[in-house]
Structure 1
Amino acid sequence: MLRYTLKRLGIFAGCLVVVWGLVYSGVFPRGLGDSNGMWIILLALVISAPISFVALRQERDRASEQVVRRVDRMKANLDANRSQEDLADDTARAQGQTS
């Protein structure tokens, strides 16, 4: 999961540098007034999103498998705890009835 995040940030940083260079060289238009920095960031986000979607498909699949395994493990632990609680409750009720 961390690997995916770092690669995604790397793609964004690369796009940010490229967009910054293209804006200051005049290829892309500058933002209005003082919005130039925000314009560069938004443009880099828009460009990096589809690149990340295509380039990081395997990383995204790997990260989602890790999340699924983690959720399945948590569900199994919850079921085990629930079974122990049910057993303890049944035992307590059985002892309460025999007293």
Structure 2
Amino acid sequence: MWKRPLRDVVVRCQVGNLRVSGVMARNAVEEMARRWQLPLASEGTKLWGEYMAGTAMLSSFFKGEERVKVMVKTPNIQELYVESMAVGEVSVCCYIVG
């Protein structure tokens, strides 16, 4: 059906005061799991993907050097830090317990 592979994308729109944003980041999550040698179904991969997509959605309406920063701590993950800029750049730092 698809002639070329799907790309990661951020879609946004604004109608009056309502702003809507959506993210498809399948390739970014798969690449992160491959580089960090994590299974795709692991809690760390899931959390990273959710928070990366969330910060990308929030920052998609920003301008210039504005950023969104999120930090999460769970029993299995010592610290997960995600930062996203308006241009689509996402930075991540993750420390897993054990």
TM-score with structure 2 setting the length: 0.33
Query: Quick check: which one's helix share is greater?
Result: 1
Larger Rg: 1
TM-score with structure 1 setting the length: 0.33
Query: Quick check: which one's strand share is greater?
Result: 2
